[in-house]
Amino acid sequence: MSKHITNRDKDYSQWYLDVIREAKLADHSPVRGSMIIRPTGYALWENIQAALDKMFKDTGHENAYFPLFIPKSFLSREAQHVEGFAKECAIVTHSRLKSVEGGVIVDPDSQLEEELIVRPTSETIIWDAYRNWIQSYRDLPILINQWANVVRWEMRTRLFLRTMEFLWQEGHTAHASKEEAIEETLKMLNVYKTFAEEFMAMPVITGIKTASERFAGAVETYCIEALMQDGKALQAGTSHFLGKNFAKAFDVKFQDTDGEHKYVWATSWGVSTRLIGGLIMTHSDDHGLVLPPKLAPTQVVIVPIYRSDEQRDRLLEYAQTIMDELKEAGVSVKLDRRENVKPGWKFAEYEAQGIPLRIAVGPRDLENNNVELARRDTLEKNIISREGLAGHISALLDTIQNDLFQAALKRRDERTSFADSYEEFKNVLEQKGGFIYAHWDGTEETEKKIKDETKATIRCIPLDGEKEEGKCMVTGKPSSQRVLFAISY
- Residue numbers at the binding site for RNA (CB under 7 A): 2-5, 13-14, 17, 22, 28, 30-33, 84, 87-88, 152, 154-159, 162, 166, 168, 213, 215-216, 221, 223, 235, 237-238, 270-272, 274, 287, 305-307, 312, 339-345, 347-349, 351-352, 360-366, 372, 374, 379, 381, 452, 455, 488
Taking the complex as a whole, how short is the minimal distance between the CB of residue 260 and RNA, in angstroms? 34
Q: Is there a contact between 243 and 188 (Cβ–Cβ < 8 Å)?
A: no
Contacts of 313 (CB under 8 A, 6+ apart): none
Q: What angle do CA 358, 336, 276 make, to 5 degrees?
A: 60
Closer residue to RNA, CB minimum distance, 103 or 259? 103
Contacts of 169 (CB under 8 A, 6+ apart): 49, 52, 53, 56, 145, 146, 147, 148, 270, 271, 272
Closer residue to RNA, CB minimum distance, 14 or 111? 14
Closer residue to RNA, CB minimum distance, 17 or 256? 17
Taking the complex as a whole, how short is the minimal distance between the CB of residue 35 and RNA, in angstroms? 8
Taking the complex as a whole, how short is the minimal distance between the CB of residue 114 and RNA, in angstroms? 25
Crossing angle of helices 389-414 and 309-328, rounded to 10°? 70
Closer residue to RNA, CB minimum distance, 17 or 43? 17
Q: Measuring CA to CA, how many Å separate 151 from each of 30, 167, 340, 489?
A: 16, 9, 42, 18
Taking the complex as a whole, how short is the minimal distance between the CB of residue 135 and RNA, in angstroms? 32
Closer residue to RNA, CB minimum distance, 100 or 155? 155
Helix (H/G/I), strand (E/B), else coil: 363 = helix
Taking the complex as a whole, how short is the minimal distance between the CB of residue 62 and RNA, in angstroms? 21
Closer residue to RNA, CB minimum distance, 254 or 318? 318
Q: Is there a contact between 373 and 302 (Cβ–Cβ < 8 Å)?
A: no
Alpha carbons within 13 angstroms on the beta-carbon side of residue 356 total 25
Sheet with 69-71, edge to edge strand ranges: 69-71, 111-118, 90-94
List the beta bridge partners of residue 144. 62, 172
d(CA 195, CA 202) in angstroms, rounded, equals: 9
d(CA 17, CA 94) in angstroms, rounded, equals: 36
Taking the complex as a whole, how short is the minimal distance between the CB of residue 344 and RNA, in angstroms? 3
Closer residue to RNA, CB minimum distance, 34 or 177? 34
Taking the complex as a whole, how short is the minimal distance between the CB of residue 87 and RNA, in angstroms? 6
Taking the complex as a whole, how short is the minimal distance between the CB of residue 279 and RNA, in angstroms? 14
Closer residue to RNA, CB minimum distance, 166 or 254? 166
Taking the complex as a whole, how short is the minimal distance between the CB of residue 101 and RNA, in angstroms? 12
Helix (H/G/I), strand (E/B), else coil: 120 = coil
Count Cβ atoms within 10 A of the Cβ of residue 43 and give its class: 0-12 exposed, 13-18 middle, 19 or more buried.
middle
d(CA 142, CA 61) in angstroms, rounded, equals: 8
End-to-end CA distance of the chain: 27
d(CA 129, CA 246) in angstroms, rounded, equals: 12
Closer residue to RNA, CB minimum distance, 140 or 233? 233
Taking the complex as a whole, how short is the minimal distance between the CB of residue 109 and RNA, in angstroms? 25
Contacts of 444 (CB under 8 A, 6+ apart): 210, 211, 212
Closer residue to RNA, CB minimum distance, 152 or 439? 152
H helices of 237-328, in order, are 245-249, 274-283, 309-328
Taking the complex as a whole, how short is the minimal distance between the CB of residue 139 and RNA, in angstroms? 28
Q: Which long-range contacts (CB under 8 A, 24 or more apart) does 81-84 make?
A: 81/123, 81/124, 81/216, 81/217, 81/245, 81/246, 81/249, 82/216, 83/216, 84/215, 84/216, 84/217
Q: Is there a contact between 415 and 433 (Cβ–Cβ < 8 Å)?
A: yes
Closer residue to RNA, CB minimum distance, 132 or 340? 340
Taking the complex as a whole, how short is the minimal distance between the CB of residue 208 and RNA, in angstroms? 12
Closer residue to RNA, CB minimum distance, 134 or 486? 486
